[in-house]
Chain A
Amino acid sequence: MSAEIWAIVIGMGVANYAIRLTPVAALSRVEIPGVVRRWLSYVPVSVLAAIVANEILLPRGEWIVPWDNPYLVAAIPTAATYWWTKSFIGTTLLGIVYFLGARALLG
């Protein structure tokens, strides 16, 4: 367990530095092609959407019918809260409140 976590901690450090170093090491000589540039611009949205789908549609790895799923029900006001407030922390805290409410309602 602990060794696995250390591998993640160190691996994440190495991987992130490698990503950040790439343009310094490779650039001014090589121009990033437009198609790669566009692909990179879509990656964050894709990753976050995949993560959100996994977290709220398949909580703990299991599909829950949408109207019985407090994770999904709470995500709707959570998204609206961020849209209006642009507050990251406020949205996270309110999201937890919405989830507790949804869980109480749906049993």
Chain B
Amino acid sequence: MDTDGASKHHATHGFAQGLKSGLPIFLGYLPVGAAFGVVSRAAGFSVLQAASCSALALAGAGQFIGLSLYESGATVLAVLVASSVVNLRYVLFGATLVPMMRGIGMPAQAGLAFFLTDETYAVNVLELRSARATAASMLGVGLIAWSGWVLGTTVGAVAGSAIGDPSRWGLQYAMPAMFTALLVGLVEDRSHVVTAAIAAAFTLLFAATLPGNWYLVLAALAAATVATVVFE
């Protein structure tokens, strides 16, 4: 009885600690989520669809990329592949987290995996390294991050309905500007600069020569493959 009460207290404390650690993520996700809400409304999503997309996928750039392809008339499958490919890095993140989570059961790990993002990864890795992270604290981090993303999206989607014609405000440039910022942020060294240039060149080449809307995904995968071969 006593140990049960103590571990319950421990879990509650860990969860609260996780919420606290994740608060900066919440604040960071609000405006970006709101941006997704606005542009997804402009692309024809309902408020419910925009909020559901954020709630189910929690996919940041992946969601914007999917939206960009949907607007350019790509098939559902092409949209899904493009938006997933950019998040393949979560396989890498997860691969580094799993060995650090030995004390946490498989079902809990499977649940926590849902909340894996760049930001929750950064916070959890830090706390796992200093042995402060528990399943409860990681759930706290995940839930507060998720709340910020979904709340931001909902607010943005509702506000987006009031904005009217988005092109009058230059809002069609919101996504290109965001992607440009994301790209600049991702570039770490010269090999990344070259990879980006190859991907851009493949995009133009494939857009001109391949039928349909798969050129973008193919260009990205081809560029990553060339980079892997060239930068040994």
Chain A residues with a Cβ under 8 A of chain B: 1-2, 4-13, 15-17, 19-25, 27-28, 32, 35, 37-61, 63, 71, 74-75, 78-79, 81-83, 86, 88-89, 91-92, 94-100, 103
Contacts and interface: CB of A to CB of B under 8 A. Distances in A.
Interface in B188-206: 191-192, 195-200, 202-204
B8 to A, nearest CB: 25
Instruction: Please classify how large the interface on chain B is, using the bins under 10, 10 to 19, 20 to 34, 35 or more.
Output: 35 or more
A99 B207 contact: no
Contacts, number: 273
B32 A88 contact: yes
B137 interface: no
A7 B83 CA distance: 13
Given A12-B62, A57-B200, A51 B179 contact: yes
A88 B183 contact: no
A35 to B, nearest CB: 7
Interface SS majority for chain B: helix
Contact of A49 (B91, B95, B196): B196
Which A-B residue pairs are the 7 nearest by beta carbons?
A95-B177, A13-B56, A23-B94, A49-B196, A99-B173, A53-B200, A49-B199
A103 B170 contact: yes
Nearest to A37: B92
B25 interface: no
A2 B76 CA distance: 12
Contact of B181 (A7, A15, A20, A82): A82
Given A44-B89, A48-B182, A50-B220, A20 B177 contact: no
Nearest to A55: B176
A16 B53 CA distance: 11
Which of B45, B109, B199, B207 has most chain A Cβ within 10 Å? B199
B220 A27 contact: no
Contact of A27 (B95, B186, B221): B95
Contacts of A27: 94-95, 98-99
A83 B181 CA distance: 8
Interface stretch (B9-17, B63-71, B157-165): B63-71
A5 B180 contact: no
